[in-house]
Each structure stands twice: as structure tokens, then as C-alpha cells.
């Protein structure tokens, strides 16, 4: 498989807190995976064309005021897929870490794709009796789901570096969901095997690389405010964060971990 790292949505500028890094726009870090046979897998979608055309309706005024998205159509996943020379119809699968608006905006641009997510995340927005149903549905914007996504909740389990991974229907075990709950009910990372190593897109399980790599861990105050204002379960989120730190410490030579919005992490790949 071949993996392309895409920024599918620049957000407000973040000031560095250490080293010689310069201020950078936060990103929406997405992956485009070539699996062969003209089939592409998109991990996360960032913002889509509907968000660019009707931002207040699609994303909400409060989000626009706080997140300050750039909303450049050339950053959308569909335009980047086209620039790479692929027909958008070749994106047959989309894998999501969770259903917040900065991760789902591109769904309407690929209405034919099968959308994979953790079963708990799917249940949170479809089952009125599920815990956190109302807030989960409020944060999954109507404009991003009005086309009726072709859902495929995770099924089955397989061990992965001492953790339970979830299988995805129609995809090989080279692409797995790694449950990392707390930010949302079914928040998960997406693990992708490349030869003898793995990439782990950790979504919003953390926002700043120092939370994983620094000893002692270092968070970023601007990102902390975002995380604390939207998390559904602090205890679960901190447990997920501890598992990621242990994974980096014990298997850092086998697994590369990165998050959805850290611009300095994204620069390693861009």
C-alpha cells in the first residue's frame, strides 16, 4: 500500500510553546491510501465542498468563530484526490476516527463510499437510548449526513500490540480501528500497516505531540481548551492517552503515532 498525507482543512494559527518552531495553522490530517486495483481508502475527510460553499449552514457560526477555518476548496479531499490523478469514484472506503464536523465535512463529496467507524460511535448518533446521543448528534452536522452515508460499523476483534483492534468490513487487517474512547463515545485511532511498520492516526485522542513523546508529558494550552470543552468522558480519555504513551514507549520503533490537528507532526509527512 501507498499512503498520502493530506491536510484537508487549515484552522486557526497555533503558537509554539517550545523549541524554534514557528506559528502554524492547525491542520485536519487525513490519509489517502492506495490499496491496489483502483481502490482508494480515505482516512478522515476534513472539510468538504459544502462547507466551503455554505459554511454557516454546514459548520455553524460558533465553530467558524472559534476554529477560524481557512475554507480553501483546494484543501478539500476531493480536490486533492483529483490533483493526485485519481477519479473521486475510486475512493470506495472512508474510515473515520469519530463524527465531529472537522472530520466529516468531506462525506458528501464521496456519497458512493462505504463509511467505516467504531460501532459505539455509530450507536451514539443512531440510537436515542445511547449515552451521549444528543450531544453526539449535535456535533455530527446535518449537512454532512443528509445524503445518507453507507455506514459500516466495525465488526470483530483482533489483537494489536496488546490492545483490542476492530476489524472493518471489506478491508484487510492491514487497516484496523483501535478504540481510544473519551473524546467521543466510540472515538478510535486508525492503524495502517506499511511493510514491517504501522502508522497510527490517533484522531483527537490527543492534540499536541508533547502529550505522547515528552517525558514528563507536555500539553498545549490552546489545544487543551478545545479538548476539555468537547470530551464526553475525562477518565476514558486519559486512559486512552496512557495507552498511547505506553505504545510509543514500548513499540515506537514499530508504530508511528500522530494526531489529527498538530501542525508540527504533519510537517514530518507533508
Q: Is 192 helix (H, G, I), strand (E, B) or coil?
A: strand
Kindly report, residue by residue over 5-42, the tens digit of the pLDDT. 999 999 999 999 877 678 999 999 999 999 987 899 99
What pLDDT shows up at residue 247?
98
What pLDDT shows up at residue 20?
61
What pLDDT shows up at residue 192?
98
- The pLDDT profile of the chain, 270 residues, written as one tens digit per residue, is 899 999 999 999 999 987 767 899 999 999 999 998 789 999 999 999 999 999 999 999 999 999 999 999 999 999 999 999 999 999 999 999 999 999 999 999 999 999 999 999 999 999 999 999 999 999 999 999 999 999 999 988 999 999 999 999 999 999 999 999 999 999 999 999 999 999 999 999 999 999 999 999 999 999 999 999 999 999 999 999 999 999 999 999 999 999 999 999 999 998
What pLDDT shows up at residue 229?
92
Q: Is 221 helix (H, G, I), strand (E, B) or coil?
A: helix
Question: Do residues 151 and 107 make contact, with C-beta atoms less than 8 angstroms apart?
Answer: no
What pLDDT shows up at residue 155?
87
Cell 486508525 -> residue: 190
CA atoms within 13 A on the CB side of 189: 27
Alpha helices (H) in 76-220, listed in sequence order: 77-83, 101-104, 119-126, 133-139, 142-145, 210-213
**Could you tell me the three cell numbers for 255?**
508504530
Count of other CB atoms within 10 angstroms of residue 249:
11
Return the sign of the alpha-carbon dihedral for residues 255, 259, 265, 269. Answer: positive
Cell 476516527 -> residue: 97
Amino acid at each position: 500500500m501507498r499512503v498520502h498525507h493530506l491536510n484537508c482543512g487549515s484552522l486557526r494559527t497555533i503558537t509554539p510553546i517550545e523549541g524554534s518552531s514557528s506559528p502554524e495553522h492547525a491542520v485536519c490530517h487525513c490519509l489517502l491510501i492506495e490499496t491496489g486495483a483502483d481502490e482508494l481508502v480515505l482516512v478522515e475527510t476534513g472539510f468538504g465542498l459544502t462547507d466551503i460553499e455554505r459554511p454557516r449552514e454546514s459548520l455553524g457560526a460558533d465553530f467558524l468563530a472559534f476554529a477560524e477555518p481557512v475554507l480553501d476548496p483546494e484543501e478539500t479531499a476531493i480536490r486533492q484526490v483529483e490533483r493526485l490523478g485519481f477519479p473521486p469514484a475510486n475512493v470506495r472506503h472512508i474510515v473515520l476516527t469519530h463524527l465531529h464536523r472537522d472530520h466529516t465535512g468531506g462525506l458528501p463529496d464521496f456519497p458512493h463510499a462505504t463509511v467505516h467507524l467504531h460501532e459505539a460511535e455509530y450507536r451514539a448518533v443512531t440510537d436515542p437510548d445511547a449515552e451521549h446521543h444528543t450531544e453526539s448528534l449535535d456535533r455530527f452536522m446535518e449537512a454532512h449526513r443528509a445524503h445518507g452515508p453507507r455506514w459500516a460499523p466495525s465488526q470483530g476483534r483482533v489483537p494489536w500490540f496488546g490492545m483490542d483492534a476492530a476489524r472493518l468490513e471489506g478491508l484487510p487487517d492491514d487497516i484496523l480501528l483501535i478504540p481510544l474512547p473519551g473524546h467521543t463515545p466510540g472515538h478510535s485511532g486508525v492503524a495502517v500497516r506499511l511493510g514491517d511498520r504501522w502508522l497510527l492516526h490517533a484522531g483527537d485522542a490527543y492534540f499536541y505531540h508533547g502529550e505522547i513523546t515528552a517525558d514528563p508529558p507536555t500539553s498545549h494550552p490552546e489545544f487543551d481548551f478545545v479538548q476539555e470543552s468537547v470530551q464526553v468522558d475525562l477518565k476514558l480519555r486519559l486512559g486512552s492517552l496512557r495507552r498511547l504513551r505506553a505504545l510509543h514507549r514500548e513499540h515506537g520503533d514499530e508504530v508511528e503515532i500522530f494526531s489529527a490537528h498538530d501542525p508540527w507532526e504533519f510537517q514530518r509527512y507533508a
